[in-house]
Amino acid sequence: MQRVKKILNDTADVVAETVEGLVLASDGTTRLMDGHRVIVRQPSAREAGRKGKVGLLVGGGSGHEPLFSGLVGQGLADAAVCGNVFAAPSPDAIAAATQDIDDGAGVLYVYGNYAGDVMNFDMGAELAGDEDITVRNVRVRDDVAAAPKERIDDRRGIAGDLFVVKIAGSACESCDTLDEAWRITAKAEANTRSIGVAVSAGSIPETGKPTFELGDDEIEIGMGAHGEPGVSRQKIGPADAVVDQMMAALLPDLPFERGCEVALLINNLGASTMMELLIANRRIRHCLDQAGVGVHRTEIGHFLTTQEMAGYSITLLKLDDELKHHLDAPARSVAYSRG
């Protein structure tokens, strides 16, 4: 297996150096917490005079930039806690971040539904509870390929994290209570579905080796964000046929029904071209038109990557007036800005 080329320093320092570079790119709107790989919004709620704001903490393994580390800022997260590459952040870092951003109204956690993240965020919440901080969490489970609908709690979180974090950020800015911010965020998560396709693997910097192998003429439908197996490994076909197969899995799952309105996200897993994403978009819109589903807005680009994995994912968020309001609210961060 050929080694993947990357321009790095010591591979043991990739996460620390990535986080440092991201904070510098924020031009003073974020800071790095002392002693932890945690990116924190500044000014804080207290410093900005927003006493009693519900805090929003997001996070997960590194290697998926700009998620989650790039989503700290106005109308988004108050902090992001960064684990090692494809590994959950530590409970101590989660607890420290929770204490840092708590302003007396409690803290909402949003993260992907992976065993390590679930365990460590639960432990972090317990530690925060020892400091009398109330925590609630929303685990994103948008990947329809990871498990059947009757086992939705076994599904993993992929690019749908972006929409859930965006709505959570607005809710935490505007809601008076943690419970209300949680309700809106949980509704967004419950209405989000995604599926991915890969044509080549990403790699882990420490090993330099691809995380899986695909033949030159193969694709995998339903590939996970770390290279987890999908639902179908097959010969590569025309773009329209690939999109049709993905949409056939997505549309019935919620279901997305005639007359509903969605937000659409086409996420570059790392190394695909904008040409491929735009060609996919035209077919996705054809499928949605045929199904009678309207598109409120479209996001296309890098949001959740897997290093240099080539491929993309499609996410649909079913909207109502409340979710649309929070999705469209102003937001600004290094990786994502609206309004």
Query: Is domain 11-191 in CATH 3.40.50.10440, yes or no?
Result: yes
54 band by pLDDT with thresholds 50, 70 and 90:
very high
Whether 51 shows a pLDDT value over 80: the answer reads: no
Range list for CATH 3.40.50.10440 in the chain: 11-191
Burial of 297 by CB count in 10 Å (0-12 exposed, 13-18 middle, 19+ buried)?
Answer: middle
Choose, from 64, 286, 296, 325, the residue flagged as catalytic: 64
Is residue 64 part of the annotated active site? The answer reads yes
User: pTM score, two decimals?
Assistant: 0.97
Name the most confidently modeled range: 40-49, 136-145, 223-232: 136-145
Q: Can you name the residues that pair with 137 across neighbouring β-strands?
A: 109
The pLDDT value given to residue 212? 87
Nearest to 99 by CA among 162, 55, 60: 55
The length of the chain in residues reads 339
Choose, from 226, 286, 302, 326, the residue flagged as catalytic: 226
Whether 1 shows a pLDDT value over 90: the answer reads: no
49 band by pLDDT with thresholds 50, 70 and 90:
low
Q: Which two tokens stand for residue 53?
A: 């704001």
84 band by pLDDT with thresholds 50, 70 and 90:
very high
CATH class of 192-326: alpha beta
64 band by pLDDT with thresholds 50, 70 and 90:
very high
Instruction: Look over the chain and give the mean of its residue pLDDT values, rounded to a whole number.
Output: 96
Contact predicate 191/209, CB 8 Å: no
Reduce the secondary structure of 256-272 to three states and give it as a string: CCCCCEEEEEEEECCCC
Range list for CATH 3.30.1180.20 in the chain: 192-326
The pLDDT value given to residue 46? 67
Nearest to 186 by CA among 198, 178, 194: 178
DSSP state of 43: S
Q: Which helix (H) or strand (E) holds 315?
A: strand 310-318
The pLDDT value given to residue 228? 87
Nearest to 334 by CA among 152, 77, 82: 77
Cα end-to-end span (Å), the chain: 46
Q: What is the full DSSP assignment across 321-338?
A: HHHHHHHHS-EE-SS-EE
For helices 321-328 and 161-174, the axis angle rounded to 10 degrees is 90
pLDDT digits 0-9 by tens, 85-94: 999 999 999 9
The pLDDT value given to residue 47? 72
Whether 188 shows a pLDDT value over 70: the answer reads: yes
